[in-house]
Amino acid sequence: MSTSSLGVGIVGMGNIGTMHARALRDLGERAALVAYSSSRGATREALAGWEAAHLTPEQVMNHPDVDVVAICSPSGTHAQLALAALEAGRHVVVEKPLALSVEHAVSIARVARERGLMVSTISQRRFEPEHERLKSALDAGALGEIRLATTHVHWFRDDDYYAAASWRTTVEQGGGSLVNQGVHNVDLLRWLCGPVESVTAQYGTLAHAMEAEDTTVATLRFASGALGVVTTTTATPPGHPATLSVHGSGGTVELAQGEVRRWEVPGVPAPPSGTAATGAADPLAIGHGGHLAQWDRILSALERSSPVPVDVDDAVQTVRLLCAIYAAASTGEVVRPGHLT
């Protein structure tokens, strides 16, 4: 490992861990994967050719050459592992979501501040060119007053997908369609359109024999006054690309994964289509390009002591929104994300 490289340890070398290993490989000498944990050893291919030590999670966090711990384990373990890595004095990159409860998310933010350490949650879809262009247009007021924003994640996962990892079927471990499959589009909608003031929702398990929901519908009222709709499901074969649309007083944009379907923004040229793959039917089809883009920015922030992308406070707000949708669906009440503790 180069003396100028940041050492990375991955906790959870499954399919998503492999995405991180490939992204790190593409960053040249700026970073090196030095250690990983897994219930079983990973192949050289899964490690993207890295000669990394196979250790326990605790050993990864305390490895002398590890500067950053990437947490790629099942969602229900994210908070505990993030806190442990921070207590070990390591920066943290955590896969979505940061945590499954507001309480745990806030605890991670507090410890990170106390320790002066970086936490970045993987929200790789923010770095796709079409979303970056839309964010810039919204910030510049090019769409006028936002009135309606929607996102629909109508995917399909078969029984084999759920049988392969039991945590995907449980509420406690974050296996539902909202927090597991829909999280990135929920994050995009909040990031693009601003804070959410209140939520109503319903959910159901319509196609799979499991505890967690496989279909969720929510309505949002943004702090700006705009209204929004979120639908997520893994019960709609064969699965379709996730969509996101923003309708303003001066323009409309509709995006699918890798496709610009409508771009009616005065004075702002449309970004090209074909920049992202879809996980509508296959969770591994997304590739590692988005992870590479976020890791590039994470390393730049650490190298320059500058703000990191999708920092811990930002990630807490997405957890608040996810938890508000679940609370609204389970109680039938209007829930305000900002009031959750």
Same domain, 151 and 180: yes
In a domain, 77, yes or no: yes
Residue 71 in domain: yes
What is the rounded CA–CA span in Å between residue 230 and residue 88?
A: 38
Q: What is the CATH number of the domain that holds 149?
A: 3.30.360.10
The reply to whether 38 and 158 lie within a common domain is no
Find the CATH number of the domain harbouring 78.
3.40.50.720
Confidence at residue 258, expressed as pLDDT on a 0 to 100 scale: 83
d(CA 110, CA 211): 32
> Is the same domain home to 182 and 322?
yes
The pair of structure tokens assigned to 118 is 């970086």
CB 60 within 8 A of CB 10: yes
* Cα distance between residue 36 and residue 32, in whole Å: 12
CA distance 311 to 191: 12
192 shares a domain with 329: yes
Is 1 part of any domain? no
In a domain, 46, yes or no: yes
| 302 and 165 within one domain | no
Residues 112 and 208 in one domain: no
At 93, list the tokens: 């990159």
Domain count, the chain: 2
How far apart are the C-alpha atoms of 275 and 263, rounded to whole Å? Answer: 15
Residue that has been written with the tokens 């050289």 in this structure: 44
Distance of CA 112 to the CA centre of its chain: 19
- Asked whether residue 18 is domain-assigned, the answer is yes
Q: What is the pLDDT of residue 273?
A: 80
Same domain, 60 and 179: no
Residues 34 and 174 in one domain: no
Domain annotation covers residue 95? yes
pLDDT (tens place) for every residue of the chain, 341 residues total:
445 799 999 999 999 999 999 999 999 999 999 999 999 899 999 999 999 999 999 999 999 999 999 999 999 999 999 999 999 999 999 999 999 999 999 999 999 999 999 999 999 999 999 999 999 999 999 999 999 999 999 999 999 999 999 999 999 999 999 999 999 999 999 999 999 999 999 999 999 999 999 999 999 999 999 999 999 999 999 999 999 999 999 999 999 988 999 999 999 999 988 655 666 656 656 689 999 999 999 999 999 999 999 999 999 999 999 999 999 999 999 999 999 99
Chain position carrying tokens 């409508």: 262
Co-location of 68 and 53 in the same domain: yes
**Helix residue spans in the chain (DSSP H):** 15-25, 57-61, 78-87, 102-115, 129-139, 159-163, 183-193, 289-304, 312-331
For 277, what's the count of Cα atoms within 13 Å in the CB-facing half-sphere?
12
Distance CA 264, CA 247 (A): 10
pLDDT score at 226: 98
pLDDT at 280: 60
Nearest-5° angle of CA 205, CA 207, CA 212? Answer: 35
SS (H, E, C) 22-67: HHHHCCHHHEEEEEEECCCCCCCCCCCCCCCEECCHHHHHCCCCCC
Q: Does 286 reside within a domain? A: no
Sheet holding 252-256, edge to edge: 196-204, 215-222, 227-233, 146-154, 243-248, 252-256, 259-264
Q: Residue 173 phi/psi, 5° resolution?
A: -100, 5
99 and 198 belong to one structural domain: no
284 is a domain residue: no
Question: Is the peptide bond preceding residue 97 cis, with omega within 30 degrees of 0?
Answer: yes
Structural domain boundaries enclosing 251: 125-279+318-339
**d(C-alpha 257, C-alpha 125), whole Å:** 9
Specify whether 191 is located in the same domain as 335: yes
Residues 6+ apart with CB under 8 A from 269: none
Per the structure block, which two tokens stand in for 242? 């996730």
Residue tagged 């990191």 (tokens): 308
Both tokens assigned to 73: 């384990």
User: Do 163 and 104 share a structural domain?
Assistant: no
